[in-house]
Each structure stands twice: as structure tokens, then as C-alpha cells.
Structure 1
Amino acid sequence: MTGLKVEHVSHRYGRTQALDDITLDIKNGEFVAILGPSGCGKTTLLRVVGGFLRPDEGVVTFRDRIYSSSNVYVPVEQRDLGMVFQSFALWPHMTVRHHVEFPLRSPRHKGISKEEKQAAVNRTLEAVGLVGLQHRLPGELSGGQRQRVSLARAIVSKPSILLMDEPLSALDQELRVEMRREIQDIHRLTGATIIYVTHDQGEALAMADRIVIMKDGRIEQMGTPRDVYLHPRTSFAAGFVSKCNFVRGTWVGEHFLANEDPSLVYNGASVADIFREMEVYPVRPEQFHLSTGDRGLEGEIANKQYNGREIHYSVLCQGGMFTVYAGGFEEYRIGDSVRLVFEETAWEQQRRAV
């Protein structure tokens, strides 16, 4: 059975083109993260899939049933999906249990007995760790607990599609990491197709089976987390999914010669054509090694941020600012002259092998 298909979908807000000819084919049970900056169209795409917006052009189908097209529109409540919002969207007068029970009151579930509904609510509360809190009101819960209520409400009816619109953005960093694991557990438990909208590349890399990078209403690149990280296809994708430094130089066949030192030869067999056209070589911050020797690109430490196991350095190099991640014990001071050494490590060998 086919999964969710978005075919040549476009949508405009007045004169603004929010979506421009978007095509996606998402498998049943796949976890797809839609990643991009504010205003790129990712939430509009989610709302079109959910039925909150009708596309101006294109077709949305799920398991061969048309959800949206030029002459067909299936209302939100008749689509087999659940939704987790950026805000928790909880009613202050309803208990945790009442929130989870609410979706089962829909006419879609009128054929389910009261006992079966209660059993579904009990299973869901247990799955998200809320059994002991089921009689509390939202005002008596922490941020993480409120988000669990939102998740439970979305999955209690076992939807085939689960739409998530930046569900962790209101939480602090520690809770965000914890909730990532919760969402992964829910994905494994339910087997639902998840479409997860975020501007946080760390969330997308950590959880998704595939990442769709969007920019200006169009798809910039899509692939597995490993693929989009190791093989960026555009300069935007390279810079948005983690940092990427662009070393200037000259391409000679499959090899790249850095401007400052032609003896620095980088293997470029796996580098996208766009970077060849730009006469640059993309280097991730962890690929550079800082040294005081006589090899590598000349640089000067402009800033440093201590992060425990890592130190993040900003280095003036080639007339611009490069980012370098060094080990927590590789101490340099602001103003120090350094060399940026790029070696073909096991990391780079892996990139060429993928």
C-alpha cells in the first residue's frame, strides 16, 4: 500500500509564494523531518498535508485516497492523522485524562465501545508516563509533562499520520533532549508516519529517517541525515545543516588545491558540482585540526567558546571567519596564530564511501 504523496503542490498567500511545486513521496511508517529557516514554507506544507489549508495547485494523497486536489478536499476531521502543535494547546479546565479522551469522542470513533475507549486511554497514558498525573490540570504540570499530554492526545486514536509542528521549541534544552527520546519511542510504538517540522538541525539529524531541507518555498535537498550531512548538494544545505567552512582554491580534476598553500591537496571525489563551480571546498568544523606547525591554512583565533568536551573557535582565515571544533584540552588564546590542518581522516574516508 502506498504512503503519503505530495505531488506538485503550490500555495500562495496573496503575492507571496509560500510553496512552489513541492513533490514528496513518504513511505508508511517513515519519520520525515522538514527542516528550514523561518518563512521557508515548512509549516505551510504541514498545514496543507493536514487539511488546514487547500493547495492552489497539486495533489495530496494517502494510501491512494485523494486528500486534496483542484476539485477534492477531505476535511481535517476525516483524515487519518494526529497533530502536535508548537504550543501545547491544552484546555485549562480539563484534566490530563479528559484531554486524552477527547479525540475518541469524534464521530469517526462512534463504533468503538466505551470499554475499548477507556482501554485505549489507559494504554496511551502508560506509554507516555502520565498514569500518575491523569487527574491533574495543565496548570499543575511541568512543560515536559504538558507536552506529553499533547503527544498522548495525538496518538490515542492510533492515527496513521502524525504531524508535529516544532513541538519542542517551548522547552528548555535538557527537556528537548529528553523529549526527542520520547518521540522516537512513540514512533517505534505506534508505527505511524511522522512529519516533523523544525528549524533545529540537531533535532532533525537525531530523529529522522529522512530530512527535507526547504528554502523559499522549495525543496533544497532531501536524503538521510547521514547523506545531507556528509554530502550537501548546495551551499545553503551545507551551511544550514551544521556549520560548513568554504575553503577557497582551485579544482584540478578530482582534487582541490587551497589558495594559500598548493601543497594542501584535498580529495574531492564526493563533493557536489556547485562547490566546484564556486571554486571552494566544504569543510565541517570538526574536520579541521588546529596546529602551531608549518602546515595548513594560516589563521588567527578571534573568539572561543568552552563547551566542556569541545571548544568552539572562530578563526580569521582566508579573509573570512571559519568555525573549528577542537577537543576540550586543545587550548588556544584569542589572538594566537594557528594553522588549520585538514587531514583525510576516517571521517573523510567514510564520506567518500557513502
Structure 2
Amino acid sequence: MSTQIRNLMKKFGSFKALHDINLEINSGEFVAILGPSGCGKTTLLRLLAGFDSPTSGEILIDKQELATTKFFLPPEKRNIGMVFQSFALWPHMNVKDHIRFPLKHQQFLSEDLKINIDSRVDEVLKMVDLLHLGDRMPNELSGGQKQRVALARAIAPKPALLLMDEPLSSLDAELRMSMRKEIKQLHQLTKASIVYVTHDQSEALAMADRIVVMNKGKIEQVGTPKEIYSCPTSTFVASFVGKANLIQGKWEGDTFYPLDDPTIKWGNTDVTSELKNKGIFPARPEQLEISLNEGGLEGIVTSVQYQGKEIHYTVTIKEEEQWVIHQDISKGFSVGEQVFIHLKINQNTTDGIKQLAYV
């Protein structure tokens, strides 16, 4: 079942939290809503869940209206599952009872699930590798196990749409990495339609089929992880996803003259027309390299951060601009050293996506 969001707008008093949001989520698709704090992503999720009503616009699932300016369906009457940031487990219920609860009370439950509740509980617990912990209480579980219970409870009744509100933000870094893989595997097993809200670019890149980048209540860009990372259409997307250096200069066709320096030419056909028209080259940190070889833009190393397999440099150019450059450890540079910046030839953009996705 597909979900349609049409011309959605939400105001709180005079403040407009969402501006004309239009989006379609296809059946079985994993969509990540990505953006900084205050961009409207959680407001959008709350509207989908039925916790808030829209000021204007409409939301439909499988062509059935959930919310319009004249009609509003409450959360309990929507075929939607929800995974909260804080897990929201009930302290008086064991693991099995958490999974059993929506199977007893969800009005959209299929007849097959209604007569096979116990087998569905076991099936879901196997999916999240918690079958051996079915009798445990929430206070007897680790953070990762609690998150698995919350996931299992949400997917048990097979909702038309599964909403996740930054479900990994309260976990430590290593556990977040593990849970990313588990959520991705659950999506492949259940074929559920998922809307996943996050401010973490690496999560969105690692898990989503499509990413919706939001800023100041508006959708900046929608695309696959590779499209969002490699071909940003706005300066915000370029700097927020992949942390690109927004280099000013002059474009002539597919040739770029950084900082209007006529002696230095960079070639790139992946830069979108929107950024070319603004005279901007979005150079990600891994696309640039520094060396002692002349022929590049001259700069001074002002910061060095050792990261194990690579070093993160900040280089100041013309005493004004600062660019961040990631480089392997084969050649080290020191703070205060004069260097020259070059654009790498035939840089594989997929490498950058993998690097960001698994940091």
C-alpha cells in the first residue's frame, strides 16, 4: 500500500513548521526523513501517526484519507506501527506480552493473525532474536534488547506503514551500528513500508531506499542515497550530507575555475545545474588532496585530526576560506605547513558514501 502526502502544511500559531510537503511512499519502501533539529521531520512523522492534525493538505494510505482540513482519523484507527526514540516499553509486561498486545487490540489484524496469535508472537521474536528472552521483563533487558522489543511490537500486526522516530539515538555508537543492520534485515524480511526519521546522515545513507532531506520545514531534495550524496541540488544538501566544501568560482560548461583562478581547471560532470548556476563546486573532503606539488591552490594547514586510517586536515586558503580535506596516512602534514590543494581525478563517489555510512 502506498502513502501519499499532498500539499501538507502545519502551523503552530504564527509559526509555519511545514511548508507544502508533497511526497509519495511506495509499498515496501524504506524512506528516511533526514534533517537537522527543528527542520520539521518529527512534525511530519506526528502528522502521519495521527498525533497532530494538518493545517492544510492531506494524507492518504492506499487512497484512503487519514487527514485533511475537514477530516481527521485518530491514531488508533490508522493501520500504522510506531517505534519511539525512548522505546516506550511497559514495565509490568514481559517481552511476549509486549508483542501480544497489538495482536489483541489492532483492529486491522488479518483473520489469519487473529487465530494464530501465539505463533505470530514466536515468529516475530525469532526475527529479532529474542525467542529465548520471551519471559523477561523490560528492566532485565539491555538497551539493544529493549529496542528489539519495540521493533517487534511495531511489526507484529503487519501495519501498512511503520514509523520510526530516531530509534537509535539513545544507544551507544557500536550498538547503533549493529541495530542498523538488524533494522535493514527486518525490512527485507517483512517488506514493510518504513518512514525513518533521523538527523544522522550515516544512518540514512546506510539503510534507506530513498532519502528526503528537509530544512526549515521544506523538502530540499528527494533521491537515492547515491543521488543525495553525489548530486546535491542545493547548498544545504551539499554541506549537510557529505559535509562538502562549497567552493566559489566560475563554471564554463563542465570546467570549473576555483576562486576564479584562471590557471587552475577542475573538470566534473556530476555537479548539478542548480549549483553550477550559483558558481559553486561542492567538493567533499575525500575529493580533494593536499601535497607539496605546485599547480594547485596554495594554502596553510591550520588543523590536523588523526582518525586512524586517515587524517582530517583543515586548510586555510587566502587567509579567509577554510576547507576540510580527508587524506590517508601515507603522507603527513603539520600545522602551519604550506601545501597545495588538488582535485582528485576520477574520484569514485561511492567510496565516500560507504565511508560516511559506516563511520
CA separation of 1:230 and 1:3: change in aligned 2, threshold 3 A: same
Residue segments in structure 2 that go unaligned for 5+ positions in a row = 353-359
Larger mean CA deviation between 128-137 and 102-111 belongs to 102-111
Q: 1:104 to 1:305 in 2, by over 3 A?
A: same
Q: How does 1:207-222 map to 2 (within 5 A)?
A: 207-222=207-222
How much has 1:68 moved relative to structure 2?
Answer: 0.9
Please give the alpha-carbon distance, in whole angstroms, between the structure 2 residues aligned to 1:348 and 1:94.
48
**Count of equivalent residues:** 350
Aligned to 1:70: 69
Moved more, 297-306 or 18-27: 297-306
Alignment-derived partner of residue 127 in structure 1: 127
**CA RMSD across the alignment:** 2.0
CA distance in 1, matches of 2:101, 2:22: 34
Conservation of the 8 A alpha-carbon contact between 2:314 and 2:324: yes
**Secondary structure class of the residue paired with 2:303:** strand
Q: Normalising by the residue count of structure 1, what TM-score does the alignment of the two structures yield?
A: 0.94
Provide runs of 4+ in structure 1 moved above 4 Å: 109-115, 348-351
- Aligned residue in 1 for 2:9: 10
Matched residue of 2:196: which SS? strand
**CA deviation map 1:276-296 (0-9, x unaligned):** 343221111000111111121
Q: How many angstroms apart in 1 are the aligned matches of 2:194 and 2:329? A: 37
Match of 2:105 in 1: 106
Q: Is the 8 A contact 2:287 2:347 kept in 1?
A: no
Tell me the SS of whatever aligns to 2:28: coil
How far has the Cα of 1:7 moved from its partner? 0.3
Q: CA deviation at 1:330?
A: 2.9
- Aligned residue number for residue 150 of structure 1: 150
TM normalised by structure 2 equals 0.92
Answer whether contact 1:33 1:212 (CA < 8 A) is retained: yes
Q: Which residue is 1:230 aligned to?
A: 230
Structure 2 equivalent of residue 283 of structure 1: 283
Q: What is the CA–CA distance in structure 1 between the aligned matches of 2:57 and 2:17, rounded to whole Å?
A: 14
Letter in 2 for 1:33: A
Match of 1:23 in 2: 22
2:325 paired residue number: 324
Retained in 1: the 8 A contact 2:113–2:120? no
Amino acid at match of 1:49: L
Deviations 1:81-128 (A, max 9, x none): 110011111112221111111111215149567760011100001100
Letter in 2 for 1:232: P
2:267 — aligned with what? 267
1:95 aligns with 2:94: yes
Partner AA of 2:19 in structure 1:
D
Contact persistence 1:289–1:326 (CA under 8 A): yes
Letter in 2 for 1:65: Q
Q: Which residue of 2 aligns with 1:38?
A: 37
| Paired position in structure 1 for 2:175 | 175
- In structure 1, give the amino acid aligned to 2:338: S
Change (3 A) 1:348 1:81: closer
Cα shift readout 1:289-334 (whole Å, capped 9, x = no counterpart): 1111112111222112222212111111242211111113332122
Residue aligned with 1:40, SS: coil
Alpha carbons of structure 1 residues 348 and 177: separation in structure 2 relative to 1, 3 Å = closer
Identity of aligned residues (%): 45
Q: Give the letter for the 1:304 counterpart.
A: V
Q: Secondary structure at the match of 1:227?
A: helix
Partner of 1:306: 306
Contact 1:90–1:150 (8 Å) recurs in 2: yes
Residues 5 and 25, structure 1, Cα contact 8 Å, conserved in 2 = yes
Structure 1 pair 95–174 and aligned structure 2 pair: CA distance change class (3 A):
same
Distance 1:92 1:113 in 2: 26
Other structure's SS at 1:44 match: helix
